[in-house]
Amino acid sequence: MNISVVIPLLNEEESLPELCHWIEKVMNDNNFSYEIILIDDGSTDKSWQVVEELSSKNQNIRGIKFRRNYGKSAALNVAFEAAEGDVIITMDADLQDSPDEIPDLYKMIAVDGLDLVSGWKKKRYDPISKTIPTKLFNWATRKSSGINNLHDFNCGLKAYKKDVVKNIEVYGEMHRYIPVIAKWAGFTKIEEKVVQHRERKYGKTKFGLERFIRGFLDLLSITFVSKFGKRPMHFFGLWGTISFFFGVMVSLFLIGEKVYKSAYAIPTRDVTDKPLFYLALVAMIIGTQLFLAGFLGEMISRNSNDRNSYKIEKRI
């Protein structure tokens, strides 16, 4: 099978028939073998009934329904496990992504040999309350991930080589960081393609400012786990040692100063009367806690089932 089109959806009953018919036309015009996987993420409208009707009319359409809303990352993760195509293409269900982009995306993966192609909606039709935070989010992600050639990490229109989706796990709000996850899994052939952004035709946006807060926290989480997940002591132990050493040196300085001035009868305050002493004490306590956190993290990591799980590309 050439292509699996993965479409997470939440309350998109009006757009689904038009979207699926459009995808079907593109596939037939280009003689692609394909499947469409629709993941209903706990819709409260008639989206699932529409999915069932579409599936009954087209055997290439498959549906997965969650019992409740788990989020886009969960929907993508389940669909990636089920996808059978050589190239997996994700898009949103709101008709803001154009299926006409599919042939070019497929070529970039299947012919050009890329691992992942991320869409870039260079001209957007979103309100400024969404575009400004999006630009800040993308800037922060580029700086932290080192993937400097992508402008729109959160674009729903992406294409993947099959090996990519079968070797990554998406959870929480991690769907916006899939290029980052793929890079850290060893898939480094990542490019972007300028794609059309269409105005929403039906329904209303699911966007909320709280997504940026969760997204920022997930960015910190994925950055830490990818770099120090198997060696937490390298992070906690380093900063714990620095903090503890700083506290000890300041304490020794204050004690030495007290002894020196006392020996020469120079008036001076007690060490415990100086604020700097308590700062040094806090630094030693924090250093000890960080070191213990690293030690416990190391013990947990060494006893995990996947401590020696590595991505192997080929064997001979």
Give dist(CA 160, CA 3) in Å, integer: 10
Q: What is the pLDDT of residue 198?
A: 78
- Partners of residue 8 on adjacent β-strands: 39
For residue range 68-104, list pLDDT tens digits in order.
998 898 999 999 999 999 999 999 998 989 999 999 9
Q: What is the pLDDT of residue 203?
A: 65
Burial class of residue 102 in the structure, from the number of CB atoms within 10 Å of its CB (0-12 exposed, 13-18 middle, 19+ buried)? buried
Helix (H, G, I), strand (E, B) or coil at 89: strand
The pLDDT of residue 205 is above 70: no
For residue range 211-236, list pLDDT tens digits in order.
666 667 777 777 777 677 677 888 89
Q: Do the Cβ atoms of 27 and 34 come closer than 8 Å?
A: yes
Element (H, E) at 25: helix 16-29
Which band of pLDDT confidence, cut at 50, 70 and 90, is reported for residue 309? low
**C-alpha 228 chain-centroid distance:** 16
Closest C-alpha to 219, from 152, 156, 141, 149: 141
Is the backbone of residue 293 left (phi > 0), alpha (psi -120 to 50) or beta? Answer: alpha
Strands 116-120 and 158-161: antiparallel
Q: Do the Cβ atoms of 96 and 172 come closer than 8 Å?
A: no
Give 26's contacts (C-beta < 8 A, 6+ positions apart).
32, 99, 100, 102, 103
The pLDDT of residue 288 is above 90: yes
Q: From start to end of the chain, where are the E strands?
A: 3-9, 34-40, 61-65, 87-90, 116-120, 158-161, 190-194
> Domains of the chain: which residue ranges?
3-228, 232-302
Helix (H, G, I), strand (E, B) or coil at 118: strand
Closest C-alpha to 70, from 97, 36, 43, 108: 43
Does 3.90.550.10 match the CATH number of domain 3-228? Answer: yes
**C-alpha 102 chain-centroid distance:** 23
Give dist(CA 30, CA 24) in Å, integer: 10
Which band of pLDDT confidence, cut at 50, 70 and 90, is reported for residue 258? confident
Give 301's contacts (C-beta < 8 A, 6+ positions apart).
229, 230, 231, 232, 307
Which band of pLDDT confidence, cut at 50, 70 and 90, is reported for residue 184? confident
Q: What is the dihedral of CA 123, 129, 135, 140, to 10 degrees?
A: -160
The pLDDT of residue 201 is above 80: no
Tokens representing 101? 């982009």
Q: Do the Cβ atoms of 251 and 278 come closer than 8 Å?
A: no
Q: Do the Cβ atoms of 162 and 89 come closer than 8 Å?
A: no
